[in-house]
Amino acid sequence: MVKTLLRVLISVVFIALFAYAVRDDIPSIMHALQHVNRTLAAAASALFLSTILILSKRLQLIFETEGVPIKLRETSNLTFVGYFFNNFLPTSVGGDIVKAICASKVTRQPVKSLTAVLMDRIFGLSTFIVIPSICLFFIMDRINNPTVPILVYSFLGLALICFLLLFNRSLARRFGFIETLLGYLRLADKARKIYDGLHKFKSHKAVAVEAIFLSVLGQSISIVVLFMLALSLGSNAHVVYFFILIPVVHLVSMAPSLGGLGIRENAYIYFLSPYIGRENAAALGILWLGLLLMLSVIGAIIYLVRQDYHFSWKDAVVSS
């Protein structure tokens, strides 16, 4: 309860900061939203829905690698449900917890379900780090915010460390104190099974290549969707800025909050204002929130209809 209240408080604080930051720009933000190119915005929304199919295919691929056959329709449902629960759980990836629980109810294999969802998230996040790292290398001198390269390459360094620990057992053993700590919490056996499941992807290079391709495709489409929304608001910024800055915004939104709410909208203003203007950056954050809510509504309907997905929070403790 205390953690939930803390997340709510963080989101409320950042929403208040967002409102304060744009207090003088509210008329221009409303003007931008009222005069948005509806045809272009509708096309962007339709394109955004295609990312669900791509991400669902990636999740299906990972499940099958775990030896768990699952239909694409099922992984699509799980993806929508994950978006819905992102609204109530910590950070913008909190819905993965529910996605794993719901998947385990369908597959009857909780550890493998959690492993698959975690690996799916790892592929997604790694791609979101690599894309801006590569783009930034070519136009570093055109980015006038020194925070951007610091964040991008800090995330890249952290990702490399995590990958080394994940795929190099000898290095991971040097952090045995973590397993000891988990032992006190009676989680060591489950954590070891999950680690083994993630580690074995080292032997599935073809699957990894396909998953990375799907990740790049899905993330690129999401970035193009935001670029199209910016164009619908009247922006003329080059698309390459979006391939650098949008991943940074979404990585920052992983900070504790309710689905990144408040943090994400402030990040749009901070990072994108120099390129598309404050009013357009704020309006873009609102439009993106609208797209996420659209997915959330679909996810809520699926969760209500699928009785076999329903769970109690004690199910969050994965049993072997």
Name the residue type at position 188: A
- With a cut of 50, say whether residue 46 has pLDDT above it: yes
Question: Percent of the chain having pLDDT more than 90?
Answer: 30
Helices (H), the chain: 2-21, 26-34, 38-65, 72-85, 95-107, 110-139, 147-167, 169-172, 176-184, 188-199, 205-232, 239-252, 263-276, 278-305
Reported as a single tens digit per residue, the pLDDT across 220-271 is 999 999 999 999 999 988 899 999 999 998 888 877 666 566 778 788 888 9
Reported as a single tens digit per residue, the pLDDT across 82-138 is 988 887 666 556 678 889 999 999 898 988 898 899 889 888 888 889 899 988 888
pLDDT of res. 91: 58
pLDDT of res. 142: 82
pLDDT of res. 320: 42
Widest Cα–Cα separation across the chain: 59
Cα 281 → chain centroid: 20
Q: From the CB of residue 189, how many other CB atoms can be counted at a distance below 10 Å?
A: 13
Give the predicted TM-score (pTM) of the model: 0.82
The pLDDT-based confidence of 205 (bands split at 50, 70, 90) is confident
pLDDT of res. 179: 65
Question: Between 169 and 75, whose confidence is greater?
Answer: 75
Reported as a single tens digit per residue, the pLDDT across 144-186 is 888 888 988 998 898 888 888 887 877 777 776 666 666 665 6
Cα 250 → chain centroid: 7
- With a cut of 50, say whether residue 190 has pLDDT above it: yes
Mean pLDDT of the chain: 82
Question: Between 137 and 8, whose confidence is greater?
Answer: 137
Q: Which two tokens stand for residue 28?
A: 């221009």
Q: For the residues 179-203, what does the mean pLDDT come to?
A: 70
Lowest mean pLDDT among 34-43, 54-63, 194-203, 284-293: 194-203
Spell out the residues 6+ positions from residue 103 whose beta carbon is closer than 8 angstroms to its own: 63, 70, 78, 113, 116, 117
Cα 224 → chain centroid: 16
- With a cut of 60, say whether residue 1 has pLDDT above it: no
Backbone angles phi, psi at 160, to 5 degrees: -65, -40
pLDDT of res. 217: 94
Q: For the residues 6-33, what does the mean pLDDT come to?
A: 58
The pLDDT-based confidence of 29 (bands split at 50, 70, 90) is confident
Whole-Å CA distances, 230 to 92, 142, 145, 234, 236: 22, 19, 20, 7, 8
Question: Percent of the chain having pLDDT more than 70?
Answer: 80
Taking CA 50 as the corner, what is the angle to CA 152 and CA 90, rounded to the nearest 5 degrees?
Answer: 50
Q: For the residues 307-318, what does the mean pLDDT come to?
A: 66
- With a cut of 90, say whether residue 19 has pLDDT above it: no
pLDDT of res. 167: 78
Distance from the first to the final alpha carbon of the chain: 27
Question: Between 29 and 55, whose confidence is greater?
Answer: 55
